[in-house]
Structures are given as structure tokens and as C-alpha cells.
Structure 1
Amino acid sequence: MDDITHEPFGSLRPVPPAGMPLPGQLVLETADLLTARDHLSRFLWPHTVIPTARRPQVAFRHCSASIGQVSMHALHYGAAVQIEAHPDDSYLFLVLLHGAGTLSQDGFTGPLNPQIIRAMNPTGPATMRFVAGEVNLTLRIPSTLLHGWLEETTGQRVPAPVYFEQHSDPGTGNAPGLRRFLHFLCSEFEQRTAGIVSSPTVCRQLERTLISLVMMELPHNHSAALDAERTGPAPGYIRNVEQYIRSNADQPVTLRDLAGIAGVSERTLQAGFRRFRQTTPMEYLRDYRLDLAHQGLLAGAVGGRSVTDIALTCGFNHLGKFAKCYRARFGETPSETRRRALTTTI
């Protein structure tokens, strides 16, 4: 426990304390542990911290950066310490960059090293022990982000809070994609110019990518459901909406109406259709109406039905928009389809 280890972090070379991540994002340096505790409790879980060696050489350093609502914290205490943390409504994820340590929570105790990202669930207190000179990178992700991502991805309400599983050191490490992505983010924040992380639009996408990697690469109690969603059929709420569209294509229909039929939020419905149908609910409705109109023009030409009559019957009230969408889908105007049908039947 007292030996300093040097292990790779993703594709990073070993990181000494003097070269800890996010150097340009310094928040606090102090030689007082109480000051460090009070300061860091405002950013992470409330906690106590005590030195575990005589005459501790405290050299606390905290650098921090945020991607949306996700915050990253590079931490160095200098001295060997023990931390007792009490959860709030967030998850913490810790990867050691330099040194050695252990994490204990919910009856599990495991080593901390740069090959493993450890999760701390908001279910009970966690104890961390760090040797002198240790450096770590800790992520804080609000529970609402993880649960919102899970609901949007599966299209179902989350039946139970996410609980990340703890495991012994597998030797080869875990979550390689997540570790590489963290390395990339830290590198971006270290640029002289803020680069892509200065764009709010890009940061929203980076936040989503980060959460996706956490949820897909770290095992938890919903991992099996995510695996099933990737390979299984579309959930029932999507099929219900499709049936409703087929039965009511001629009626005024809004996204809110479809979400009500599905029993999920509009955002979840949109995500479900993109995932399983590679389109959106309203695009699915539009294309179904266009297909009906196409069939109607082919079959109704002999009966003398006009393009306008068929368009209105299929739920299109804006004839100019109907003609534009129709041509984009079928490569000809509605009138051309009608004339072609007449020529074929004569």
C-alpha cells in the first residue's frame, strides 16, 4: 500500500503529481486539510478527511472542468489520507492516475489503479484510502442525467435506480473507451485555446457521449436491458403508435397526441423511433400519408378523383408542401403519377 505505482490511464503515460490533468483549471491549493474538506464538499459528496501518517505533508490541489452538468475533478492531497464520503443525489466515478489506494462501499473493498474506473453509488457511505502523492480524476454525474439517458434509450420508465456493480481487478482493466474519452477531454481543456469545449452545442454532445460510455461500458443493474434493446424488437409503445397512425392518418395528429398514445414523453418517443425505425414519429406519419396518397393516385385516377381530393383525404392540408414531399419521396409530382396511371389503364 505504501509503494507508489505508475500505470497507464487510457493512452496516457504515467502522470506524476506535478503533471496532474487540467492544470489550467486550478480551483484551490492549500496545505490545510479542513479547508480542503470544506471546499471539496461543495463540489463532490460531503465527506471527512483524516491523515493516516504522522506529520503529513499536505499539498492539496484541485483542478476542475465541466462538460454540461458533468464535472471532472483532478485531485491531489500530497499526504496519505482516508476519506469518508456520504452520498448526495449523484454518482461519482474515480480513476487513479498516480499512486495507489482502495475504495470500500456496500461491503466491497477493491484496489484503485489507473486500469480501473470505480463507481460510487448514492446508496451509502464510501471510504477511500490514498497513499502519499496520489493523483486521481473523479467524475460527478447527477442521478437525473443517468436515469434520463436510460429512459430515453430504452423508451421505458426506469423501474429502479441505476446501481453500478463493483468487481475485483480483472488485470486487463475496464471501460477502455471511457478512459480514452476522458483522456481526450482533459487534453482539450489543456489547450491554450479552449477549442471544442468552448462551444455549448459541442459540450452538450460531449456530455451525452460521456454518459453513453459510462452506461454502456460500466456494468450495472440495467445492463442486460440495454443489451436486449440493442438486439431486440421495437418496444410495444412504438408499435402502438404505428397502429394508431395507420388507423388515423386522415386525422389531425400532433407529436403530443402520439406521446399520449405511447404513454411516454415526447423526447422518449422521438428517441425510440430514431433507434428502432431510423426516423421520427412525425416523419413516419408523413411518409405513411404519402404512401396512402401514392396508392390513391394510382387507384383513383380512373374514378376521376382529383389530386386535391386525395391529398385532403390522406391528411394533407397544405397542398404545396404535399407536392414537394411527394416528389422527394417518389421522384415525380402527384399530377404526373395520376397521368401515368391514366395512361396505363387506357
Structure 2
Amino acid sequence: MTVSAYPGGAAGPATLLSKRQVCRTRSLEVIRENLGTVFYPARVDPADRHGERPASLLAAAGGRDLTVGLLWFGSDMLIDPGALGAYHVNVPVSGSVASECGGRQSIATVRRGAVFTPRDHTVLPRWSKDAAQICVKIRKSAVEAELEALLGRPVAGDVDFELGFDLGTAQAQSWLGVLRVVLDELDRPGSLLESSPGYRHHLELALITGLLCTQPHRFRAELIAEQPPARPRTVKRVLELIESDPRATHSLAGLARHAGVSARRLQVAFRETLQTTPMAHQRRVKLDHARAELLAGGHSTADVAYRWGFSNPGRFAAYYREVYGECPSDTLRRLT
């Protein structure tokens, strides 16, 4: 699926984040004020200062480490926020946006996004009148803490992401898949994203980790390189953590941080000692507890799935059938 096919679609970008509108206005002053509140204070200048402008649209929602928004001007604009103080990804859903950061230049389109770094001057000298972008602001400390957890060592300096973001690669499509989930969840009233801080944090980490593993920067080769196996003691630490609170959902980086090794080393250690991965083992522990609840009776399949951290009952059923050779509903029927 290409970026142009989603999230814009035939209905246009106004269908994105439709429940999260911040403002829709012809006033440049109002759009500047709201941009400064949601994202960054910025100079916002129209190419034609005297012509009639359509209403600009800003929709956005913020979490602990990320703010995700949709921005549309409807006329050619210059946007100059200066140094952002955060990492930032723009994913166009229509049109094109000339993008500059620290002297680097790129044209953002539906096939090529842009990734901006915190300390370099950012400017968008031409935001075309037909351009709408999904904008993802990521807290600087969150990116760097996740990188350190994945590498298993401290990191000095900013992550020097390349500016141009090729959205057509398989890795980028995986990252966009997580972004689509976030957008869908934000537009679903009463979603797990709203009710569960842990689930929200898990998706935020997935976007951060995915960006670090997908977009070129000076640490990426080390992130994706083969790692020597960790000592079995590190595996034992992770097993003990998962068993101590099986309802908790840990990220790979969080498990590696607890074990005191990089995420890659932990994955190698699990493969060599248990022939599985840390995340697959965590899921199996949750499945075992979920099955015990189903066998005890008195709970619906959906209730059990949500209680053990499976937000999608269909996916829970697929995992369950793969491990136990029957659907959760089959387990319940055998009790009647």
C-alpha cells in the first residue's frame, strides 16, 4: 500500500483526525497561535498576501512523548519555526513541501517524507496549496533514551537523521503501518489508546523504535548489526521480570534495559537459549494465563483478551489457535 492510498484516500485529508480538530480558520493569526501551542511557534507567511485564502485546518492529539497532527493551508505558504527542540517527521498525504534543515534540502511528497532534528534551523520555504501533511513531533529525550536502551550504552549528541525519508521501502511501510494504527485509534471514541496509558506508550515506542531502525543516521548500522549472544543470566532476568507481573506489557527496549544489554543482544540470547524471542515469550506467558482463565469459566473471550493485553480479539484468537490448536471459543464450549 502506498502512502498516497492511505491515509488521504478519495475522501481527502479532512477525513483524518476528524475527531481531533483544533481549529479551522482563515485567520493567519489564529493558525499561528494554535501551531505554536500544539507544535512550535513559527513564522507563517502566505505567498500571496492579498488574495483570498481558504480556511486552514489543524487537527492534533498529544501523548506523553508524541504529538500527531494534520496540517492543511490550502494556499502556498512559507513556514519557518527555526530550531524545533524536538525530532519531527512530516508525511505528506497530498501535494509537495520544500523542506530544509541545517542546510540540507529535500522535497516532501506522498512518496518521500522528511525527518527534522532538534537543534538545526528548520524552514519550509514552499508549502504548496494542495499539500496536507501528517506531522509527528517526538520528544527529544524519548528518542535518545530509546536509542541508548536499544544499543545498551550511552549516546552523546543528537541523532543525525537524514532529512529525506523514502516512504516506499518495506521498512518505511512497516513504520507507516504503526502510524495508521495510531491515526485510527485517535479517531475511535473510547479506544484503548484513550483508556490505557500503557497501550498508548507501547504505540509511541513502536513509532520511535521504528524510526530509529528505518531512517538512516550514524547509529543505524550498529542497531541492525548482528550481535554476540548475551549471557544466560540476562535471559533469566527477563524471564523473572515477565513472570513477576504477567499482566504488564513490556517493550523490547524496556526488557533489554532491565537485562542490562542491547535489544539486539537480548534477541540473540533468547534465540540461542530458548529458540524464541523476548516478545514472543511474553505473549506466550500472557496466552497461558488467558487460557487458564477461560478454562476456569465465567469470562467472555473478549474480556479475557483485553485483560491480558490483547487489544484485537481476532489477533488474540489467531495466536491462541496457533499455540493450543483450538479457538478460545472452542475452549469455552467444552466447558458447557
Q: TM-score range by the shorter chain?
A: 0.5 to 0.7
Q: Which of 44, 47, 53 is 1:49 aligned to?
A: 44
Q: Give the secondary structure class of the aligned counterpart of 1:50.
A: strand
Q: Relative to 1, partners in 2 of residues 1:141 and 1:108: Cα closer, same or farther, differing over 3 Å?
A: same
Larger radius of gyration: 1
* Superposition map of 1:18-97 within 5 A: 19-53=14-48, 54-97=50-93
1-structure distance, mates of 2:91, 2:10: 12
Which range is displaced more, 101-110 or 188-197?
A: 188-197
| Contact 2:101 2:121 (8 Å CA) reproduced | yes
SS of 2:180's equivalent in the other structure is: helix
Aligned partners of 1:111 and 1:169 also within 8 Å: no
* 2:201 aligned residue: 204
Q: Does 1:130 align with 2:121?
A: no
RMSD across aligned positions (CA): 3.1
Counterpart code for 2:153: Q
Matched, 1:232 2:227: yes
Structure 1 residue 275: Cα displacement: 4.0
Say whether 1:278 aligns with 2:270: yes
Spell out the pairing of 1:1-346 with structure 2 (5 A cutoff).
8-9=3-4, 11-12=6-7, 14=9, 17=12, 19-53=14-48, 54-128=50-124, 129-167=126-164, 175-228=172-225, 231-234=226-229, 267=258, 269=260, 274-278=266-270
Contact 1:90 1:143 in 2 (8 A): yes
Which residues of structure 1 form unaligned runs of 5+? 1-6, 243-264, 280-346
**Given that residues 8 and 93 in structure 2 are in contact (C-alpha distance below 8 angstroms), is that contact kept between their aligned partners in structure 1?**
no
CA distance in 1, matches of 2:259, 2:186: 32
Q: Is the 2:55–2:74 Cα contact (8 Å) retained in structure 1?
A: yes
Q: SS of 1:278's equivalent?
A: helix
Higher mean C-alpha deviation, range 16-25 or range 39-48? 16-25
**1:224, 1:25 → 2: CA distance?**
38
TM-score when scaled to structure 2? 0.65
Mapped to 1, the partners of 2:202 and 2:144 lie a distance apart of: 17
Cα separation, 2, equivalents of 1:66 and 1:158:
27
Verify the 8 A CA contact 1:56 1:80 in the aligned structure 2: no
Quickly say closer, same or farther: Cα 1:61–1:168, change in 2 above 3 A: closer
More divergent stretch after superposition (190-199 vs 96-105):
190-199
Report if aligned partners of 1:116, 1:173 keep a CA contact under 8 Å in 2: no
CA contact (8 A) 1:100 1:134 kept: yes
| SS at 1:65 equivalent | strand
Amino acid at match of 2:206: T
Aligned residues of 1:117 and 1:174 also touching (Cα < 8 A): no
Amino acid of the structure 2 residue aligned with 1:130? W
Map Cα deviations across residues 54-87 of structure 1 (whole Å, 9 max, x no partner): 4141412111123432110111112211101212
Separation in structure 2 between the aligned mates of residue 80 and residue 68 of structure 1, nearest angstrom: 32
Confirm or deny: 8 A CA contact 1:81 1:132 kept in the other structure.
Answer: yes
Q: Which moved more, 1:267-276 or 1:83-92?
A: 267-276
Aligned-pair CA distance for 1:270: 6.5
Q: Match of 1:217, as an amino acid?
A: T
Contact 1:78 1:134 in 2 (8 A): yes
After superposition, give the CA deviation of every residue in 1:18-41 in whole Å (9 maximum; x if it has no partner). 634101011122211122112211
How many residues were matched structurally? 247
Q: What is the rounded CA distance, in whole Å, between the counterparts of 2:26 and 2:99 in structure 1?
A: 24
Aligned to 1:175, what secondary structure does the other structure show? helix
**Against the structure 1 CA distance between its residues 32 and 114, is the aligned structure 2 distance closer, same or farther, given a 3 Å change threshold?**
same
The amino acid of 1:57's aligned partner reads R
Q: Deviation digits for residues 190-226 of structure 1, max 9, x if unmatched? A: 2244244432121111111111111111111211121
Determine helix, strand or coil for the equivalent of 1:191.
Answer: coil
